[in-house]
Amino acid sequence: MSNATPVTTANFDSEVLKSSTPVLVDFWAPWCGPCRAVAPTVDALATEFAGRAKVVKLNTDEESDIAVKLGVGSIPTLMVFKNGEMVERVVGNRPKNELAALLTRHI
């Protein structure tokens, strides 16, 4: 089980856009090998940043409307949201230190 909170269309606004802390969103799908490869890093960041930032996962197969709206063309895509706005985006499996630095910049 993941340490990152799953988000859906129903709770994306409340969990991501209206969050009082920065949010790292992992856009993924079960069939995506690079998504599975980055998953342990995303889970570790969820634990490390608990209380300072949120880390959530959005399954693009199940929630394609949000992915399309945000221009997700490849997965994994990781976005940082702050104050309801997307402030950074990276595509592909990235090392933990790079993703931690990405999130730290917005805390």
Give CB contacts under 8 A, 24+ apart, made by 32-40: 32/75, 32/76, 34/75, 34/76, 34/92, 34/93, 35/75, 35/76, 37/93, 38/76, 38/78, 38/93, 38/94, 39/2
Asked about 23 being catalytic, the answer comes back as: no
Asked about 35 being catalytic, the answer comes back as: yes
Euclidean distance between the first and the last CA atom of the chain, given in angstroms as a whole number: 26
**Which of 23, 35, 38, 99 is flagged as catalytic?**
35
**Which of 7, 24, 25, 32 is flagged as catalytic?**
32
- Active site residues per annotation: 32, 35
